[in-house]
Structure 1
């Protein structure tokens, strides 16, 4: 069974999913970013990314294709053991999307600290 573990301090959750989209709003440009991820060989592999605009520090990379109002591209990022995300009340939080629904990461980790980090990683024993 493939699961994604979310952790922030002592609070954690496990979701039985093999793929997901991580989405957020750029803190300055107020433009949505989305990244599609999947769990493969106990690591996280990015599949595709989308930026719905451009601006300060967020120019689409070479080879990106504009489709339906967003720049689509595949980041040249090696598989990762985990993603470490900053959590702050001063920016719009990250969203986790799967099975056609998006929810703030805080939905899955109720009661987390106002500031800190959220870690996404394949759960121990997850295969894929």
Structure 2
């Protein structure tokens, strides 16, 4: 795939952190790879506002609205406009990396089929 970058994670769990582009509020999601899908374990947002209202099942813990997961998707697509003041922080395997901070094509996070990149 031309221009593609692949990141292989040793462990199935990863965390995405970012700041909401309008409300300037922190958001955290914990994901796990489950076979050929990504499963949201839980999500937390520090506050509420435009497009980020906590779900009905969210509980307030130490200033964060925490919602249980359950959502399963084949892939995550993260837009990278370069206009939001930052990208996402992807943490896995004890290391954190910033992704999608500069304008570019959307980023796709997905499990690899049979250990190979798709």
Higher mean Cα deviation, 84-93 or 11-20? 11-20
Q: Cα offset for 1:29?
A: 0.5
- For 2:24, which of 10, 26, 30 is the aligned residue? 30
The unaligned stretches of length 5 or more in structure 1 are 1-6, 108-112
Structure 1 stretches of 4+ moved >4 Å: none
Q: Which residue of 2 aligns with 1:3?
A: none
Q: Secondary structure at the match of 2:96?
A: strand
Q: Deviations over 1:26-63 (max 9, x none)?
A: 00110011111001122100010000111122111102
With a CA cutoff of 8 Å and minimum separation of 6, indicate the structure with the bigger relative contact order: 1
Match of 1:48 among 30, 38, 42: 42
8 Å CA contact 1:8–1:116 kept in 2: the answer is no
Output the TM-score relative to the length of structure 2. 0.83
For the aligned residue pairs, the C-alpha RMSD in angstroms reads 2.3
Alignment-derived partner of residue 83 in structure 2 = 90
Number of residues paired by the alignment?
114
CA contact (8 A) 1:86 1:118 kept: yes
Q: Judge conservation of contact 1:53–1:70 (CA < 8 Å) in 2.
A: yes
Contact preservation (8 Å) 2:80, 2:87: yes
TM-score, structure 1 normalization: 0.77
Alignment of 1:7-26 (within 5 A): 9-26=3-20
What residue number does 2:109 align with? Answer: 120
